[in-house]
Amino acid sequence: MVDHFVNAYGVVLAGLSETIFLGYYFGTKKLRDHFNPISDFQVGTWWDILIKYFTPKRGGSK
């Protein structure tokens, strides 16, 4: 029963909390400025929009 609860709700809640923390408190621009020089895949301003607005709205619904 605990395993089902953790897999069904806990992982989703952890991921949603992480995106909200990264998007609003830490700042996506800081992360983007860090990721782009060391990554093969460059992210643009579209990534900021997805992390801040799209992911929390989609992650909250089931």
Q: Where are the alpha helices (DSSP H) in the chain?
A: 2-5, 11-20, 28-38, 45-49, 55-59
Find the angle CA(20)-CA(50)-CA(5) to the nearest 5 degrees: 50
Q: Report the alpha-carbon distance of residue 35 to residue 37 in Å, rounded.
A: 6
The residue with tokens 């996506």 is 28
C-beta neighbour count of 27 within 10 angstroms: 13
Q: Look up the domain containing 42 and give its range.
A: 2-59
pLDDT digits (tens, 9 = 90+) for 25-60: 888 888 889 889 999 989 888 988 888 888 777 655
In terms of Cα–Cα distance, which of 49, 15, 17 is closest to 32? 49
**Counted domains in the chain:** 1
User: Model's pTM, two decimal places?
Assistant: 0.59
Where residue 22 falls among pLDDT bands split at 50, 70, 90? Answer: confident
